[in-house]
Amino acid sequence: MKDKNKFAVTPPMGWNSYDYYDTSVTEEQVKANVAYMAENLKEYGWEYVVVDIEWYSYDTGSQREKYQYIPFWKVEMDEYSRLLPCEQKFPSAKGGRGGQPLADYVHDLGLKFGIHIMRGIPRNAAHAHTAILGSKMRANDIADPSNICQWNPDMYGIRPEAEGAQEYYDSIFALYAEWGVDFVKCDDICRMDMPSAKKEIEMLHEAIMKSGREIVLSLSPGPALVEEAWHYETYANMWRITDDFWDKWELLLPMFYRCELWQDHVREGCFPDCDMLTLGRLGKGFDGKGWECNFTKEEQKTMMTLWCIFRSPMMIGAELTLLDDFTKSLLTNREVLGLLKHSEGARQIYRDEKRVIWCSRDTSEEKYYLAVFNLSKAGEVEIPWERVENYGIVERKGVELWSGESVELDGKESIFVPEHGAKLLKMY
Amino acid sequence: MKDKNKFAVTPPMGWNSYDYYDTSVTEEQVKANVAYMAENLKEYGWEYVVVDIEWYSYDTGSQREKYQYIPFWKVEMDEYSRLLPCEQKFPSAKGGRGGQPLADYVHDLGLKFGIHIMRGIPRNAAHAHTAILGSKMRANDIADPSNICQWNPDMYGIRPEAEGAQEYYDSIFALYAEWGVDFVKCDDICRMDMPSAKKEIEMLHEAIMKSGREIVLSLSPGPALVEEAWHYETYANMWRITDDFWDKWELLLPMFYRCELWQDHVREGCFPDCDMLTLGRLGKGFDGKGWECNFTKEEQKTMMTLWCIFRSPMMIGAELTLLDDFTKSLLTNREVLGLLKHSEGARQIYRDEKRVIWCSRDTSEEKYYLAVFNLSKAGEVEIPWERVENYGIVERKGVELWSGESVELDGKESIFVPEHGAKLLKMY
Amino acid sequence: MKDKNKFAVTPPMGWNSYDYYDTSVTEEQVKANVAYMAENLKEYGWEYVVVDIEWYSYDTGSQREKYQYIPFWKVEMDEYSRLLPCEQKFPSAKGGRGGQPLADYVHDLGLKFGIHIMRGIPRNAAHAHTAILGSKMRANDIADPSNICQWNPDMYGIRPEAEGAQEYYDSIFALYAEWGVDFVKCDDICRMDMPSAKKEIEMLHEAIMKSGREIVLSLSPGPALVEEAWHYETYANMWRITDDFWDKWELLLPMFYRCELWQDHVREGCFPDCDMLTLGRLGKGFDGKGWECNFTKEEQKTMMTLWCIFRSPMMIGAELTLLDDFTKSLLTNREVLGLLKHSEGARQIYRDEKRVIWCSRDTSEEKYYLAVFNLSKAGEVEIPWERVENYGIVERKGVELWSGESVELDGKESIFVPEHGAKLLKMY
Amino acid sequence: MKDKNKFAVTPPMGWNSYDYYDTSVTEEQVKANVAYMAENLKEYGWEYVVVDIEWYSYDTGSQREKYQYIPFWKVEMDEYSRLLPCEQKFPSAKGGRGGQPLADYVHDLGLKFGIHIMRGIPRNAAHAHTAILGSKMRANDIADPSNICQWNPDMYGIRPEAEGAQEYYDSIFALYAEWGVDFVKCDDICRMDMPSAKKEIEMLHEAIMKSGREIVLSLSPGPALVEEAWHYETYANMWRITDDFWDKWELLLPMFYRCELWQDHVREGCFPDCDMLTLGRLGKGFDGKGWECNFTKEEQKTMMTLWCIFRSPMMIGAELTLLDDFTKSLLTNREVLGLLKHSEGARQIYRDEKRVIWCSRDTSEEKYYLAVFNLSKAGEVEIPWERVENYGIVERKGVELWSGESVELDGKESIFVPEHGAKLLKMY
């Protein structure tokens, strides 16, 4: 049997449609982002393209003033209770071709294809008593009427002990494998709001193993339960450690605690997930127009630095075709992104209300990284040298990876960092 | 405008189909109980006949080994999203006559007709987008997909603020008024498991007031929230102060605390509800055969005594046509049942692990009641005479109302009570 | 045996030293307030003078910048572990005379004398192993080292099951009875923060009964637990339904909910307590100078109206010798205060975010009261006439008791009430 | 500055007085255990001797039928509010020599000396206003009267922000360093029952660093809060992950979950602590006689196996001078104990209600360990070979370390394990 930890040896890097398009992304829009990525970002390690929530739903976004998710509405579904791409939005899905044509497009450009799913089975299937592939049971036999998602009306949770339950999850992953899906983000499951969620995570894992395809399993939404860390590590590749993250300092600030909490759980095939990078042009699906990232430039570097040294999965939220030069520069800094690929042992060594300090080791050369975050006003940020030394860093000079400038800290107690900013030093 | 407190001046007394028939009672079975009540119990004050849960559902009881309530199943419903009696079980409902023929039957025998409803609107209506009488909105516009009952799959809760929401509740009570319904037990609402429940109680009250018919409003399941006492008192006639009550001493014992908790909230039109009297033949719908009440005779008297002195609503759970003589004697003791009609000011004056003492006053004559409960083994139960006197009882003799025997307590500190039993004394 | 409900047939009315003097009130200051009350307020029903917290402690107020209550400090205590008045502050206590001289002074002016105590036994006694009157046990035998007050360092809670525990409470109430105490406010007990509190309330009651003196028992701090209502009613005369109340609208506003919650529990000898009237000159012990009541005049009327119609105990917080004319007018309105003495059956009949309506009945004449509160900006406040009628009020004219003006409401839907103000109508 | 992680490079191994002696251990008894350890156990890696709770208290154990810890009692204390060994129990402490003579005895036999302390400052000091070394503040200035231990009456917690607070902790560790203490188990702190505990852990660490001595810091009681893992790792060497552990299967069973929870947090200088080994003769201080370990022999092996592969600190609870041969064999198995010294990367790879499987790697040779636990009846326990392989173990034969027998598992799906037993395999 394959080892799920080999499906994602380093943190997955890619783009996700949600932060810009919400529920309403179309095939054409996805393709434009795929093309941009292939041409501009692929060489820096970006490879996944993930179509987020409700690709199966009709009329998404048409009642945005009332609902994010229109309840009791039409979805595209096959005879086996399996959701299919909505042909309004994904014309290539016509004729029963499902997600395969789009997956092919992605693969042809050398990238990988991901989709979002909701935990459970469609409510429409349960009420229509539709069949389950590979079982004589029907949707109403495995759907649990009291097991629902609190924020999305599409599905019923599945009774894990019901005959047909595993078969249903097997059937959808068999279909995704057929299409050529490389990455599945399963929602309404990570926080384990429903008691069945823990068992459903195991069922997803088993379905992937049976599918024969190396599909990365990503769990949402957070915050994940740290007391279930072993469970996530054993059955999934990444799990969200925060609720939906957006471009506000009040949301970025607690990420330092969240990374502290999960730092001992990062390793091959196992990545606590800080959520999408809220950079560039965002939010068109939410307010009809979208907005530029509300973070200052320094805050953006802080986010990138923390995600990289912690080694979170990296999913760009911005509409790629509208990327400005500054944002692009953040996403194409080979030295910074290199931490995702060739660093390990990252540890927070200090945190208080004003500053946070992390250290990590390079795995390819005998070098170390030192990240200094300023949570407060611009100024000198003291470095706790004893702890830095105890970590193993003896050098006091290096290169700041965002600026490329040499830094000499010998005899210095501190380094200047702008308000809410970060310095990421490679020490040697 | 009418005063809802006048709809039930004293605690409602009647029969409810649930404890014997569960979800599966039929018209014929109801009628047999109605006939029995008219002939044997009416003269003692029993008057309501309540058809409990899922009279609208098909095939109820047919999958009892898997479900109490079959999910995603067929229900009888009109074009306005209103549930109607299932014709399998209620043949007289055919031809659009609904509950009226059965109500007529009940009324013709001088009794009153009650039905059970679930909070909300049928899930089937929401998924089918059916209409709402008196509104241009449809079921899917007012149903809230994340507002469900935890234990029954029939309905979605209603968004109180949605256009069409009050109209829907108005429309069902207009129908019930047409049929001639005198009593509605609304379920999944009393414990306020969902935030909308509080507002939905107000909507039910408003719908009753608009219906023009004096319909008693009963709320289930408990335990009701004592911090919402004012709300229940203002909008309903009775509210369950316990979860489903059954014939086990472990469930009867905590009723003493529950009655203590609610004793200051009993008054005209406002009755905290101890749930059905689990007496006689019970449970056929639950295990296919039914059983005789598991309480000892003394425990049955204890239940009757507590419910009566507290002035709980009294709904018989037993199948009436199978009533044995002992049970019947409990249900036809005019003196005991008289407390429901002409006593007031009931107070627990003592409670510890071994005994409970209540006092109350007669409203028609200058007499008092004294109830002595023995929670422990048979033996002498001490009476706290100072507290009894402080309550206003100076006499130390009277009649024990279950036995009809005279009791002389002058100079005595205690009275003999059997294990788990009760003495109910009228003092004079 | 006496009936504790006869100790306070109507809500106690008086003055309490805390709101102005905090921990530091002296005998001279108490006497000045007593004299003022006897001359100016007694005829309106005000009669209790209560010396609040730490009358036994030395140097109170001397470290106010660090502590409200100086921990591990000197207290006056007799050989039986009983606290005595600190002679620094109460010179008449010298020579072992304790509180008696001050009590005599109060009684001589026709008033009643109250003191504050903390639940438990002095920590100093436990550490010094001092004796307990009437028991061979010592303070360390009954003190529970893990049973403390969260906000005051003076005492240890008592182990209810320990030999000597009841004897200790008996001994302090015997002393208070000797002094001539008429009212005891026991603190750190009402909210039942510690598991022993419930049993300690029973012990206090028993000690009072044994003392032979009719001592009113008042429990603090709140909020009292409504699920323990029966316990308070059975063993105490008044119990605080709020945490410490001060002169801020944000604290007055929730009192409407608290009164709603407790309205069914008001009766002879049993008074849910809204806390002191924060009127006039307040707070010298807190900030060294004191301040004028922060409520607007209308808010002050609202407080007085709610406390009176609900029938809360009424304890003035102001320094009496500094009473201004307006405040004095509030405290000497015979008609308004009359509700405390001769009204009953008070009920909130309506409450939303903007308005609250209460009704009650006069017990001496066939009249009703109607209170209309405006929680919002000045304007017309709608009166729910149907509910008013259902309560029993048929008249639509009367007198507004604060202004003494006649009011004619026939055909009117509303009445004008100033912002945060109240109208209190006697209808006839 | 020194690195606290170097103070305990591998899990500390030793003996603790609590499980046999409770509060009453004497110098003579400690010495007997020290001598036994030096002669019989030292060569297997056992080196710490820890004197547990209340070595400073008089008359310990004399009121065992009422209290484990006599409240408000005499303790030995110096003029600086520092507890000293009670001379009743530790005669060598006379003449102000404190713990030094006993420490010398331990060191002379080549072992290390540990003591237990309670968080905070003695209550007796606070009430007596004694001095603090190095500060003009006194005990009552830094003690917090509302910050207490729930189960022991000796101390008050310290206000972390008070002047003199750090000085007090510095002063006690200066004294312990003088004595020659190598290990401090601080109690009432790990579970962070009081809000100050987190800051007090930092103060303890700082005091150790200032003391100039390499004192291992152990925190009790558990369960430690996994969301504070970083804090423990940064400031302490070991922290209890369970409440007091005793010789009952119901307590051993949940240790599998606790080890799962903390497995990613074990590394040099940082050891989640499973608590003392409840083996051999236990409990004399508790029941006056003591008892033989209630675990079956298989359960004892299970405990030893789990503690060793997880790499918990190992503290023997048994009275060493009464060790039986079987228990001694468990404590002197070099191969098993070797995992503490030269294994790493331990992971639970499977857990359900019936079985638990762990793997780890040897650091000195290219070998792996595989532990198979049977939570149920004796029988074949299935090994999840795919997960074993994914961990890196390819060999299917090896030696079982308790029995020393060769095991051949090629082609086998399972291994026989007795009820509640364990097999610990070294694979090669």
Strands (E), C161-230: 183-187, 216-219
- What is the C-alpha to C-alpha distance for residues B30 and B55, in angstroms, rounded to an integer? 11
E strand or H helix that includes residue D228: none
* Contacting residues of C for D67, CB less than 8 Å apart: none
Is residue D15's pLDDT more than 80? yes
Whether residue A105 has pLDDT greater than 70: yes
* Per-residue confidence (pLDDT) for residue A428, from 0 to 100: 86
pLDDT (tens digit per residue) in C111-160: 999 999 999 999 999 999 999 999 999 999 999 999 999 999 999 999 99
Cα nearest neighbour of D146 on chain C: C150
Q: Is residue D242 situated within a structural domain?
A: yes
Domain that holds residue D398: 348-427
Residue A343 placed within a domain: no
At A374 the pLDDT is 98
Task: Assign 3-state DSSP to chain D and report helix, strand, coil percentages, each to 5.
Answer: 35, 25, 40
Q: Hey, are the CB atoms on C3 and B264 less than 8 Å from each other?
A: no
Q: How far is A146 from chain B (nearest CA, A)?
A: 5
Q: Are residues D327 and D352 located together in one domain of the fold?
A: no
Q: What is the pLDDT of residues A29-52, one digit of tens each?
A: 999 999 999 999 999 999 999 999
Minimal CA separation from A401 to chain D, in Å: 27
Nearest to D146 among C124, C126, C150 (CB): C150
Alpha helices in A17-164 (DSSP H): 18-21, 27-36, 100-108, 123-128, 139-142
Residue D297 predicted with pLDDT over 90: yes
Instruction: Judge contact between D396 and D371, C-beta under 8 A.
Output: no
C243 pLDDT band (50/70/90 cuts)? Answer: very high
Chains touching A by CB (3 or more pairs below 8 Å): B, D
Q: List the end-to-end C-alpha distance of chain B, in Å, as a whole number.
A: 42
Average model confidence (pLDDT) across chain C: 97
Task: Provide, as residue numbers in chain C, all residues whose Cβ is less than 8 Å from the Cβ of D124.
Answer: 127
pLDDT band at C428 (very low <50, low <70, confident <90, very high): confident
Query: Between residues B2 and A292, which one has the greater pLDDT?
Result: A292
In a domain, A109, yes or no: yes
Nearest CA in chain D to A265: D264
**Helix and strand counts by DSSP (H, E) for chain B:** 14, 23
Distance from CA of D100 to the nearest CA of C (A): 30
pLDDT at B428: 86
The CATH number given to whatever domain includes residue C384 is 2.60.40.1180
- Closest Cβ–Cβ partner in C227, C264, C390 for B264: C264
Which of A119, A153, A422 is CA-nearest to residue A298? Answer: A422
| Residues B371, B407: Cα–Cα separation, whole Å | 13
Q: Give the number of A-B residue pairs with CB atoms closer than 8 Å.
A: 45
**What digits encode the pLDDT tens for the residues D334-361?**
999 999 999 999 999 999 999 999 999 9
Q: Which residues of A touch B148 (CB under 8 A)?
A: 145-146, 148
Q: What is the CATH number of the domain that holds D223?
A: 3.20.20.70
Q: Which amino acid is at C124?
A: N
Name the E strands within B295-383.
314-316, 343-351, 355-362, 368-374, 379-382
- Cα→Cα distances A300→A1, A304, A373, C196, D292, Å: 41, 6, 12, 55, 63
Asked if the Cβ–Cβ distance from D264 to A226 is below 8 Å, we say no
Total domains in chain C come to 2
| Nearest-neighbour CA in chain D from C82: distance (Å) | 18
For residue D363, pLDDT over 90 is answered with: yes
Count of beta carbons in the 10 Å neighbourhood of residue A354: 13
pLDDT tops 70 at residue D140:
yes
- Among the three residues B307, B332, B357, which one is the final residue of a domain in this structure? B332
D131-160 burial by CB neighbour count: b if 16+ within 10 A, else e? Answer: bbbebebbbbbbbbbebbbeebbbbbbbbb
Contact (CB, 8 A) for B152 and B118: yes
Chain A nearest-CA residue for B129: A72
Examine residue B343 and state whether it is found in any structural domain, yes or no. Answer: no
Q: Which residue of A has its CA nearest to B154?
A: A145
Instruction: Read off the pLDDT band of B142 (50, 70, 90).
Output: very high
Mean pLDDT of C394-399: 95
Same domain, B230 and B106: yes
Q: What are A175-207's pLDDT values in tens digits? A: 999 999 999 999 999 999 999 999 999 999 999
In Å, how far is B266's CA from the nearest CA of chain C? 9
Residues D303, D390, single domain; the answer is no
The pair phi, psi for residue C393, each rounded to 5°, is: -90, 115
Q: What is the mean pLDDT of residues C32-48?
A: 98
Could you list the beta-strand ranges (E) of D279-405: 281-282, 291-292, 314-316, 343-351, 355-362, 368-374, 379-382, 397-400
Whether residue B337 lies inside any domain: the answer is: no
For residues D274-281, give the mean pLDDT.
98
Residue B71: enclosing H or E segment and its boundaries?
none
Task: Flag if A72 and B140 touch (Cβ within 8 Å).
Answer: yes
D232 with D316, same domain: the answer is yes
Task: Write out the residues of chain C at the interface with chain D, using a CB-CB cutoff of 8 A.
Answer: 71-72, 123-124, 126-127, 129, 140, 143-146, 148-151, 153
Q: Are B45 and B51 in contact (CB under 8 A)?
A: no
Q: What type of residue sits at position B255?
A: M
Closest CA to D393 of D417, D372, D420, D416: D372
> What is the three-class DSSP state of B20?
helix
**For residue B240, what are the β-bridge partners?**
B273
C and A in touch (3+ CB pairs within 8 angstroms): no
Question: Can you tell me the mean pLDDT for A281-286?
Answer: 97
- Subunits in contact with chain B (3 or more CB pairs closer than 8 Å): A, C
User: Do B164 and B102 fall within a single domain?
Assistant: yes
Residues linked to residue D183 through DSSP beta bridges, in sequence order: D114, D216
Q: Do D5 and A264 touch (CB under 8 A)?
A: no
Residue C133, number of CB atoms within 10 A of its CB: 17
Nearest to D227 among A261, A265, A348 (CB): A261
Same domain, D125 and D26: yes
Residue B365 in domain: yes
Largest CA distance in chain C: 74
Domain assignment present for residue C342? The answer is no
Enumerate residues 6+ apart whose C-beta is below 8 A from B214: B2, B6, B7, B182
C177 and C213 Cβ atoms separated by less than 8 Å: yes
**B79 and B167 in a common domain:** yes
Residues recorded for chain D: 428
A394 part of a folded domain: yes
* Mean pLDDT on D296-315: 98
Question: What was the pLDDT predicted at D40?
Answer: 98
Q: Do D229 and A261 touch (CB under 8 A)?
A: yes
Would you list which residues of chain D are within 8 Å, Cβ to Cβ, of chain C? Answer: 71-72, 123-124, 126-127, 129, 140, 143-146, 148-151, 153
Which residue of C3, C227, C390 is in closest CB contact with B390? C3
From A305, A332, A359, give the residue that closes a domain. A332
Tell me: do B21 and B93 sit in the same domain. yes
For C154, which residue in chain D has the nearest alpha carbon?
Answer: D145
Q: Among D361, D346, D350, D424, which residue's Cα sits nearest to residue D393?
A: D361
CA C413-C416-C420 angle, to 5 degrees, is 125
The residue in chain D having the minimum alpha-carbon distance to the alpha carbon of residue A5 is D390
Which residue among B72, B145, B149 sits closest to A126, beta carbon to beta carbon?
A: B72
**Does the pLDDT of residue C232 top 80, yes or no?**
yes
Q: CA distances (Å), B343 to each of A96, B242, B402, C230, D223, in order?
A: 74, 23, 17, 20, 55
Nearest chain B Cα distance for residue C87, angstroms: 41
Reported ipTM: the value is 0.94
Please, do chains D and B touch (3+ CB pairs < 8 Å)? no
Q: Is the pLDDT of residue D376 over 90?
A: yes
Cβ <8 Å between A386 and D1: yes
Helices (DSSP H) in B37-159: which residue ranges?
100-108, 123-128, 139-142
The one-letter amino acid at B64: R
Distances (CA, A) of D198 to C8, C393, D236: 49, 61, 11
Whether residues D356 and D264 share a domain: the answer is: no
List the alpha helices (DSSP H) in D67-217: 100-108, 123-128, 139-142, 165-179, 197-211
Place C1 in a pLDDT band, splitting at 50, 70 and 90: low
What type of residue sits at position A182? D
* A74: closest CA of chain B, how far (Å): 10
Residue B96 has pLDDT above 70, yes or no: yes
Q: Give yes or no for a cis peptide into B223 (omega within 30° of 0).
A: yes
Q: Are residues B122 and B253 in the same domain?
A: yes
What CA–CA distance (Å, rounded) separates D189 from D205? 13
Chain C interface mutation, best of D67, D72, D118, highest count of C Cβ atoms under 10 Å: D72
Counting every residue written for chain C, the total comes to 428
Cβ proximity of B2 and B304 under 8 Å:
no
Question: Do A358 and A313 reside in the same domain of the chain?
Answer: no
Q: What pLDDT band is residue D428 in, cutting at 50, 70 and 90?
A: confident
Enumerate the residues of chain B whose CB falls inside 8 A of the CB of residue A148. 145-146, 148
- pLDDT for position A194: 96
Give the pair of three-digit tokens for residue A384: 């706790």
In 3D space, the residue among A12, A19, A9 whose CA is nearest the CA of residue A45 turns out to be A12
- According to the model, what pLDDT value does residue C334 have? 97
Measured CA to CA in angstroms, residue C83 lies from C56, C74, C172, C308 at distances of 6, 11, 8, 35
Tracing tokens 């405040």 back to the chain, one arrives at: C327
Q: According to the model, what pLDDT value does residue A1 have?
A: 62
Min CA distance, A2 vs chain D (Å)?
8
Going by C-alpha positions, the residue among B182, B113, B193, B107 that lies closest to residue B155 is B193
Band of pLDDT at residue B1, cut at 50, 70 and 90 = low
Nearest to B374 by CA among B403, B312, B407, B417: B417
The pLDDT of residue C254 is above 90: yes
Smallest Cα distance from D385 to chain A, Å: 10
The answer to whether B and A touch (≥3 CB pairs < 8 Å) is yes
Last residue of a domain, one of D332, D358, D385: D332
Residue of A5, A229, A390 lying closest to D390 (CB–CB): A5
In the structure, what pLDDT confidence band is assigned to residue A214 with cuts at 50, 70 and 90? very high
Using CA coordinates, name the residue in chain D closest to C129. D72
CA distances from C6 to A123, C234, D76 (A): 64, 12, 54
Q: In this structure, are B285 and B217 located in the same domain?
A: yes
| DSSP secondary structure string for all residues of D225-270 | PGGGHHHHHHH-SEEESSSS--S-HHHHHHHHHHHHHHGGG-BTTB
> What confidence category does residue B274 fall into, taking pLDDT thresholds of 50, 70 and 90?
very high
**What residue in D sits closest to C69 (Cα-Cα)?**
D145
- Answer whether A217's CB lies under 8 Å from A200's CB: no
Interface of A with D (CB under 8 A): 1, 3, 5, 226-227, 229-230, 234, 260-261, 263-265, 348-349, 386, 389-390
Confidence of residue A2 (pLDDT cuts 50, 70, 90): confident
Q: What is the pLDDT of residue D1?
A: 63
Amino acid at D298: E
| d(C-alpha D389, C-alpha D354), whole Å | 21
